[in-house]
Amino acid sequence: MVSDRADIESMMITLLQRDARMSLTDLSERLGVTRVTASKVLRSLLEKGRIRRFTVITDMDEGDMVLLRTRDPESVPDSCVVERLDLLGEESLVLIRPECLRELSGQGHLAIEYVKKRYVYSFSPVRGVKCDYCGKFIDGKPIEVEFMGRTLYACCTNCERDLRRRVEGVEVR
C-alpha cells in the first residue's frame, strides 16, 4: 500500500520502467489509487520531466489502413489485423491492411473507414531528473525545493542555494 505522493510517484516510475506502455487503468490498479489520481501523478511526472511521452506516428497514404467496425471480428484473418478493440456490447473495431478488404468474409461487418494517421503513445521514465538551476541531469536523489506548490530539483547544495535565491527573488517581486 503506497501512501504519500512521493511514494506513488516513484512507484509509478518503477512500473513504467518495466512497461512503458502500461495503461492508466493498470497503473492505478497496481498503485491502489483511483484513475483520476493516477492521471494527476502521470501529468505531474511529465511536467517535472521525470517521464517523457513518446508518440509513434505511423504516417500513411490514404487507404493504407482501414478501420472496420464489425460484429464478427473472428472472421478477419489474423494476418490482416493490426489492432483490434472489442467494444462494450457486440461490436469490435479492427484496424486492418487494405489488401485484406477483398478477403473479408463472414457476416456482420458494419462499416469501414480509411485511416490517414495512427498515433501510438507510450510513457518512459527519464534517467534522473534535471537540476532546475543549472539544467544538468541528476544521478541519484535530487535535493527538493518546494516553491508555490511545485517541487523543484537541485543537483547540489550550491544549486539549491542559488535556486532558492532565485525563486524567493521572484516571490518577493
Residues 31-90 close enough to bind Zn ion by CB under 5 A? none
CA-based nearest residue to 10, from 163, 141, 117: 141
In whole angstroms, how close is the CB of 161 to Zn ion at the nearest point?
11
Please give the torsion angle defined by the CA atoms of residues 100, 106, 107 and 108, in that order, rounded to the nearest 10 degrees.
-50
In whole angstroms, how close is the CB of 9 to Zn ion at the nearest point?
21
Question: Toward Zn ion, which CB reaches closer, 101 or 134?
Answer: 134
Binding mask 95-134 toward Zn ion (x if CB under 5 A, else -) reads: ------------------------------------x-xx
Task: State the residue for C-alpha cell 543537483.
Answer: 155
Angle between helices 5-18 and 24-31 (to 10 degrees): 130
In whole angstroms, how close is the CB of 65 to Zn ion at the nearest point?
46
d(CA 112, CA 55): 25
In whole angstroms, how close is the CB of 142 to Zn ion at the nearest point?
9
Chain-centroid distance, C-alpha 72 = 31
Confirm if 133 and 165 have CB atoms less than 8 A apart: no
- Stretch of 31-39, 55-63, 118-126, 158-166 contacting Zn ion, by CB under 5 A: 158-166
Q: Which of 94, 159, 160, 167 touches Zn ion by CB under 5 A?
A: 159
Residues 128-157 close enough to bind Zn ion by CB under 5 A? 131, 133-134, 155
Total binding residues toward Zn ion, as defined by CB under 5 A:
5
Q: Which three cell numbers stand for residue 89?
A: 456490447
In whole angstroms, how close is the CB of 123 to Zn ion at the nearest point?
25
Confirm if 153 and 132 have CB atoms less than 8 A apart: yes
Residue ranges in contact with Zn ion by CB under 5 A: 131, 133-134, 155, 159
